[in-house]
Structure 1
Amino acid sequence: MISQLSWKIGGQQGEGVESTDRIFSTALNRLGYYLYGYRHFSSRIKGGHTNNKIRISTKPIRAISDDLDILVAFDQESIDLNAHELHTNGVIVADAKFNPVVPEGATARLFAVPITAIAEELGTSLMKNMVASGASWALLGLPLEVFNKAVEEEFGRKGAAVVEKNIEAVRRGAEFVLEQAGGPLEQFRLEPADGKQKLFMIGNDAMALGSLAAGCRIMSAYPITPASEIMEYLIKKLPKFGGTVVQTEDEIAAATMAIGANYAGVRTMTASAGPGLSLMMEAIGLAGMTETPLVIVDTQRGGPSTGLPTKQEQSDVNAMIYGTHGEIPKIIISPSSIEECFYDMIEAFNLSEQYQCPVIVLTDLQLSLGKQSCEMLDYNRIVIDRGKLASDVPPLETHAQFKRYELTEDGVSPRVIPGEKGGLHHVTGVEHDEIGRPSESSINRKKMMDKRLSKLNSLSITNAIHVDAPHEEPELLIVGMGSTGGTIDEARVRLEEAGIKTNHITVRQIYPFPTELFEPYADRASQIVVVENNATGQLADQIKLNVGCAAKVRNMLKYDGTPFLPSEIYSRSKELV
């Protein structure tokens, strides 16, 4: 028996690849296995090669596998593009309709299954994804009734007849391949899972759920890959809690509407990707100047311009830090797991109100759209902190106005919801005095700038850096952010086995950089390897700028649109020692 394996399905976009993967992985989740998924898809609605890869394990996993055990192919292109990943004893389950051929040099065993023909016999070629699912599931020797239950959940809303047809398609696919193979394949027989209930979701859904739990009741946004699922999730859920989603005409409107709603006292967010964040920059400056809470999710993708809208990248770091004109306080945090996507959204709303500034939650496509297992969420950890939001303003002198921008020791001024008795004040995007009245006084300007910029002197976020540092003086300190964390962990196991001492830091507080926390680990390392999905080493530059150690820092960059594999980090790290 084995403790893990990897499964991939490929075909043309719109051919049922996504639904096949969804049902297959849902059934595995029901059995209690840990899963980690990766979607490779084209930036068009229909057509173009797409594949979904699922790693299945009896233990927690947070990385894509280097290789592949089973490939389900709806066309020859899927075989040609993905066969190189297959193990020596790997298997291809392919539709006999296109006369599949194993590429020269590949040793995988081919099962040509009449996938389309069986589906058409049952009434429609649309059911070929269920035939293919049944065939690959049968090779694992897992109970078919669990898979059928997942089919019922997927198609139940369409009626009992549709469910029965799809279950029949699964059965026919399973019977055909088992007859060819002589039964389930022993090399793919998985050890039993722990059977514990686990959540299985994408990062976008976790962030949407986190924002809901944080008390967000309005989302203003414009659809964009890979952020749209946040909006789609909240469209379904927010109305149940008295909230709403507003699809705006563009990202400029989305950001300014969020500012207005937050000013009115309603926790509001927006979400986008690089191109949308570019349009929001002026509004982010407005939130900083007016000291209005604002939570924004940036799901990074390949850029610049339209770039690679459906591919992995981490190239928005500089834009998020430096994009706004002028100087304002802002906070940038970066979750590195599905659980953190949930909890970080709650913290983002709290930070935004505590410090009255924009908070950007920076993810990447792999974390946002890669479906992963996570432990059940602990709702007892949810704490709502609205900062200095006054609900009972002391009486003011006659004709006096509320000091919305009062000069305080910690830089954070009292805040009121419009309409609060005694809370009358002026709000403007130009420089202003304590009651919000426009002012061009040089003395006032310096006081207000110092006030705003001093807010973050006492900033404290949960786990600003994740540290795994078993060695006092490591040969390598490997640093990453976002979805690279799990991949680095897996590579480090191999490096340690090779006798190379490594420590690992995942940076979660991107800005302001947590210099004091990071510095001791950097000082003790012989070399600092910074792993990031961009071409210029943006995180590495932040380390050099804030920590120093420039002579120690080595870039490990990947910007071809795909996530890092553990083997890549292992081999490239080994070369540095």
Structure 2
Amino acid sequence: MVNQLSWKVGGQQGEGIESTGEVFSTALNRLGYYLYGYRHFSSRIKGGHTNNKIRVSTKEVRSISDDLDILVAFDQETIDVNFHEIRKGGIVLADAKFKPVIEEEKGVTLYSVPFTEIAAELGTSLMKNMVAIGATAAVLHLEPDLFHEVVQETYGRKGAKMVEKNMQAIKKGAEYLTEELQYKRTDLYLDEADGKKRMFMIGNDAIALGALAGGVRFMAAYPITPASEIMEYLIDKLPKFGGTVIQTEDEIAACTMAIGANYAGTRSFTASAGPGLSLMMEAIGLSGMTETPLVVIDTQRGGPSTGLPTKQEQSDLMAMIYGTHGEIPKIVIAPSTVQEAFYDTIEAFNLAEEYQCPVILLSDLQLSLGKQTVEPLDYSKIHIRRGKLIDNELPEIENKGYFKRYEVTKSGVSPRPLPGMKNGIHHVTGVEHDETGKPSEKSSNRKDQMDKRLRKIKSVPLQMPVYKNIVHEHPDILFIGFNSTRGTIDEVISRLENEGIKVNHAQIRLIHPFPIDEIMPIVEKAKKVLVVENNATGQLANILKMNVGYRGKISSILKYDGNPFLPNEIHMQAKELL
């Protein structure tokens, strides 16, 4: 019996690789297993190698596994590209159609299964992925019928006959491999799961759901990997709540539309990736200068320029903090789990309205597109805060003057009327202005308005600016990361602790303004600080050094080849840096 295993399916893009992983993992999730899935795919519609690696466990998992127990291959390239991951004693289930070959000396068993042939006999070779699921079920001693509910939901819209055909394909695959295995049963019996119902979702779904729960009623966006699922989710859901989504002609239009809708009083946002954020920078500056709330989601990917559109990277950090010209108040949040992505998205809209400034919520491709088991969300935690938005009648202004929309206040936050309110008329402009919004180049006014805007975010009360796992008073290592690296770091910690190394962990969720008071004490007490991030220049490490110092004890563990960290990579580098 095993309490976890790793399974991967691979082939050419367009062969149903994603649906194979989806049906397999969703069925196991409903049995109560915890899952973590990550897709490797090419930046094209069809063709090019793609794979979906799924980790199944009786305990919570938030990272990709180092090795692989089962590889399902629809072509030889899948074996060639992924074979190095398979552990000794692992299994390859390959389509007999391409006459698969493996390195026999590694102690891996190959089962050549006629996926395509069995599927064709049932009516179409497209169902070879269902045959592969059936073969997997036989290896894991699972009953084919457990996939029926998911197959019904996936293919039911095509009619009962299509559901029946797909189930036949699963059963035929299971029957074929059961016959093959009758004299050599595998030891891959999964421990029984707890049977609890949990959500199974990608980070982008959590962000979109958070936006909906946080009161958003308008989204403007242009499709881009890996952010498009946010828009696609809300295209379906938002109209049911009286909202709408507009696909704009470009990211510039998307950002300015979101600003306009927020100015009118509707919670609105946009979502994109690095190239789109580059185009939005001037508009983000407009949000800062006009003190109009704005939430922007940045799902980081490989850059610069078009870069690696479908690969993991965390290289937008400096751009999100310092990208706009001039100086404006800005808040940058970086959730590290799918659950946090939901709650932090809601908080992003609260902060944008409370501080009347742009809020950027950073995700990365691994967090946005990695699909994982999620504990039920607590909707009682949802609170909508709209700051100094005026929702009552304004008093008449003496001499019928203009309303002081940009009034210099101690907090830096000014009262915010909605357009059309009686006695609330004021100017709105992107040039420097006085308290009523009228353009002004007076040096004293410039200083007053700059100081007012910048003091707004001196202390941003994010509920949990830093996730901290502090066990030791004086640890040998303090790991620091952001976004999706949290799960992998957590796994590494248990390995190092078993080797007698004392380890603490901090995952920074509020990147700007930087939570110095939270980070400084734990950095001071650590012998070595290791910053884990998916970029080439150590951006988070540099931000850490800028804010807390201690350059001598801070080192970087970096990966920027387009792939997420594996636990073993961090483990080995940490030991080398001690």
TM-score, normalized by length of structure 1?
Answer: 0.99
Does structure 1 retain, via aligned residues, the 8 Å contact 2:459–2:513?
no
> Which has the higher mean CA deviation after the structures are superposed, 47-56 or 135-144?
135-144
Q: Percent identity?
A: 66
Q: CA deviation at 1:187?
A: 2.0
1:365 maps to what in 2?
Answer: 365
For the residue of structure 1 that corresponds to 2:436, the secondary structure is coil
Q: Which residue of 1 aligns with 2:447?
A: 446
The within-5 A match list for 1:182-221 is 182=182, 185-221=185-221
Check the 8 A contact 1:140/1:185 in 2, yes or no: no
Range 174-183 or range 194-203, more displaced: 174-183
User: By how many angstroms is 1:457 displaced?
Assistant: 1.4
Q: 2:28 maps to what in 1?
A: 28
SS in 1 for 2:119: helix
Pairwise CA distance, 1:105 = 4.1
Distance 1:342 1:518 in 2: 24
Alpha-carbon distance between aligned partners in 1 of 2:212 and 2:499, rounded to the nearest angstrom = 45
Whole-angstrom CA distance in 1 between matches of 2:546 and 2:115? 57
Which residue does the alignment assign to 2:163? 163
The equivalent of 1:238 in structure 2 is 238
Q: Distance in 2 between matches of 1:412 and 1:105?
A: 69
2: CA distance between counterparts of 1:324 and 1:81?
41
What is the match of residue 538 of structure 1?
539
| Contact map agreement 1:301 1:310 (CA 8 A) in 2 | yes
**CA distance in structure 2 between the partners assigned to 1:267 and 1:185 by the alignment:** 57
Q: Distance in 2 between matches of 1:6 and 1:219?
A: 37
Residue 317 to residue 184, structure 1, CA distance change in 2 (3 Å): farther
Q: Give the match for residue 8 of structure 1.
A: 8
Paired residues of 2:458 and 2:513 also in contact (CA < 8 A): no
Give the structure 2 partner of residue 80 of structure 1.
80
Residues 262-310 of structure 1: per-residue CA shift (max 9 Å, x gap):
0000000100000000000000000000000000000000000010000
* Counterpart secondary structure, 1:164: helix
- What is the Cα deviation at residue 185 of structure 1? 4.2
One-letter amino acid of the counterpart of residue 494, structure 2: V
> 1:496 — aligned with what?
497
Q: Helix, strand or coil for the counterpart of 1:336?
A: coil
- Answer yes or no: is the 8 Å Cα contact 1:141–1:184 preserved in 2: no
Residue pairs, 1:99-110, within 5 angstroms: 99-103=99-103, 105-110=105-110
**Paired residue type of 1:395:** E
Match of 2:139 in 1: 139
Distance in 2, Cα, partners of 1:148 & 1:364: 33
For 2:246, give the aligned amino acid: V
Residues 130 and 166 in structure 2, CA contact (< 8 A), matched pair in contact too: yes
In structure 2, the CA distance between the partners of 1:183 and 1:139, relative to structure 1 (3 Å rule), is: farther
Distance in 1 (alpha carbons) for counterparts of 2:418 and 2:106 = 66
Q: Distance in 2 between matches of 1:504 and 1:165?
A: 50
8 Å CA contact 1:300–1:362 kept in 2: the answer is yes
State the alpha-carbon separation in 2 of the partners of residues 451 and 184 from structure 1: 74
Aligned mates of 2:441, 2:500 — CA distance in 1: 63
Q: CA deviation at 1:85?
A: 0.7
SS at match of 1:389: coil
State the match for 2:562 in structure 1. Answer: 561
Cα displacement string for residues 339-361 of structure 1 (whole angstroms, at most 9, x for unaligned residues):
01111110000000000000000
2:329 aligned partner: 329
Write the mapping of 1:147-158 to structure 2, written as runs, cut at 5 A. Answer: 147-158=147-158
Q: Is the 8 A contact 2:339 2:377 kept in 1?
A: yes
Q: Which amino acid aligns with 1:377?
A: L
Task: Give the letter aligned to residue 214 of structure 1.
Answer: G
Where do 1:82-121 residues align within 5 Å? Answer: 82-103=82-103, 105-121=105-121
SS of 2:551 mapped into structure 1: coil
Contact 1:30 1:146 in 2 (8 A): no
Cα contact 2:230–2:271 (8 A) shared by 1: yes
**Does the aligned pair in 2 maintain the 1:141–1:185 contact within 8 Å?**
no
**In 1: Cα distance, 2:184 partner to 2:574 partner:** 39
Equivalent-residue separation in structure 2 for 1:301 and 1:40 (angstroms): 13
Provide Cα deviations, 1:162-191, integer angstroms capped at 9, x if missing partner: 010110000000000111011894421011
For residues 105 and 447 of structure 1, the distance between their equivalents in structure 2, rounded to whole angstroms, comes to 74
**Contact 1:66–1:85 (8 Å) recurs in 2:** yes
Judged with a 3 Å threshold, the aligned counterparts in structure 2 of structure 1 residues 455 and 90 are, in CA distance, closer, same or farther, namely: same
Aligned length: 577
- Please report how far the alpha carbon of residue 315 of structure 1 lies from its aligned counterpart in structure 2 after TM superposition: 0.2
Moved over 3 A (4+): 183-186
Structure 2: distance between partners of 1:61 and 1:487: 9
1:8–1:72: 8 Å Cα contact kept in structure 2? yes
1:148 match: secondary structure:
helix
Pairwise CA RMSD:
0.9
Which digits, 9 at most, give the CA deviation of each residue in 1:367-391, with x for residues without a partner?
0000011101111111000000011
| Secondary structure in 2 matching 1:192 | coil
Structure 1 range deviating more: 174-183 or 347-356: 174-183
Partner of 2:519: 518
1:403 maps to which residue?
404
- Given that 2:140 and 2:188 are in contact with CA atoms closer than 8 Å, whether structure 1 keeps it comes out as yes
**Residues of 1 paired with 2:55 and 2:573: CA distance?**
23
Cα deviation digits, residues 453-491 of structure 1 (max 9, x gap):
000113110210011111101111111100000100100
Give, as a single letter, the amino acid of the residue that structure 1 aligns with 2:272.
S
Q: How far is the alpha carbon of 1:401 from its aligned partner?
A: 1.3
Secondary structure of the residue aligned to 1:447 is helix
**Rounded Cα–Cα distance in structure 2 between residues aligned with 1:518 and 1:146:** 48
Amino acid at match of 1:441: K
- 1:395 shift after superposition: 2.5
Establish whether residue 37 from structure 1 lines up as the match of residue 37 from structure 2.
yes
Rounded Cα–Cα distance in structure 2 between residues aligned with 1:181 and 1:44: 38
Where does the alignment leave 5 or more consecutive residues of structure 1 unmatched?
A: none
8 Å contact from structure 1 (residues 84, 106) kept in 2: no
Distance in 1 (CA, whole Å) between partners of 2:554 and 2:419 is: 50
For residues 417-437 of structure 1, the C-alpha deviation after alignment (integer angstroms, 9 at most, x for no partner) is 101111111100000000100
Measure the CA separation in 2 of the matches of 1:366 and 1:201: 13
> Residue 528 of structure 2 aligns with which residue?
527
Check conservation: 1:526, 1:552, Cα contact below 8 A: yes
The equivalent of 1:465 in structure 2 is 466
Q: Which residue of 1 aligns with 2:267?
A: 267
Q: Which runs of 5+ in 2 are unaligned?
A: none
Partner of 1:508: 509
Q: Which residue of 2 aligns with 1:290?
A: 290
2:251 corresponds in structure 1 to: 251
What is the TM-score of this pair, normalised by structure 2?
Answer: 0.99
Letter in 2 for 1:110: L
SS of residue in 1 equivalent to 2:25 = helix
* Paired residues of 1:97 and 1:116 also in contact (CA < 8 A): yes
Measured in 2, the distance between the counterparts of 1:104 and 1:291 equals 65
Looking at structure 1, the residues matched to 399 and 244 of structure 2 have their Cα atoms a distance apart, in angstroms, of 40
Partner of 1:190: helix, strand, or coil? coil
1:106 Cα offset (Å): 2.8
Could you say which residue in structure 2 is the equivalent of 1:480? Answer: 481
- Give how far 1:576 is off: 1.6
